[in-house]
Amino acid sequence: MAVYCSQNHEDVYFIECGMGELLFQGTGSIRSEDTATWNPDETWKGAATAVTVCDRITEIGAGVLEQFPNVKKLNLPKPLTCIVMTDALKTLLHGNDVLVHAAYGSYGDAFAQEYGLRFLPENIELGWYRDEQHDESTKLVLRFHEDGTMDILIDIFTTGISAGASGGASLDRPMPEEYRPGCTVEAFADMFPARYYKQIVNNPEVKLFLAREAERAEQKKE
């Protein structure tokens, strides 16, 4: 792991995690000059293939992402409100067939749709349930994978018998057999235990997911 600090923005730094993964940390609006670091060797920028923008960054200015010529995947946070598009950036994103990973309904989602980029939705938390009697919490998550498949993660956490002990499990489950693209949010919620119903039907990301699935299903028919 290596950390590169910006010369021009004290809150901006880059963490090289290896295997092409780069974390872009900062606050607020980030400018092109903020990518200049104290490290005279900038080959690390060319090594980055997956760039993750932290959730405190709200705007990425012109010339920022262009500094990473081999990027293949962009992980964009919900608070992000703007990426300034340039001809150079458009050429880079399409030339590298960049995959945008962001939440449904976020700016990252709109950015991918507007510029015709591949889009991978963030996982959607369908519901959370606390069983006080058994001192157990369960989280239900709809997961999306790069190959286009989806599944359900059941994440269970429980306190152990002895003080300080804890445990749990993560269970992978396929999508419910009765799921069909184009179903209503109420029908979708009915496919899961009743304790999650209200959380699912009131989740705007679930509604948008189902609407997109319906659009894709209709496009396949044409």
- pLDDT, residue 165, reads 45
Q: What band does 158 get if pLDDT is binned at 50, 70 and 90?
A: confident
With beta carbons less than 8 A apart as the criterion, state whether 100 and 77 touch. Answer: no
Residue pLDDT, tens place only, 18-29: 999 999 999 999
pLDDT exceeds 60 at position 207: yes
Quote the pTM value. 0.91
Residue 18 and residue 3: Cα distance in Å, rounded? Answer: 11
Residue pLDDT, tens place only, 40-49: 899 999 999 9
Average pLDDT over residues 157-185: 79
| DSSP secondary structure letter of residue 123 | P
Lowest mean pLDDT among 31-35, 179-183, 190-194, 208-212: 179-183
Cβ atoms within 10 Å, residue 120: 16
With beta carbons less than 8 A apart as the criterion, state whether 97 and 72 touch. Answer: yes
Residues in the chain: 222
pLDDT exceeds 60 at position 189: yes
Amino acid at 166: S
How far is C-alpha 11 from the geometric centre of its chain's CA atoms?
Answer: 23
With beta carbons less than 8 A apart as the criterion, state whether 34 and 57 touch. Answer: no
E strands, the chain, in order: 2-5, 13-18, 21-25, 28-30, 50-53, 57-60, 73-75, 82-83, 99-102, 118-121, 124-131, 136-144, 150-159, 166-174
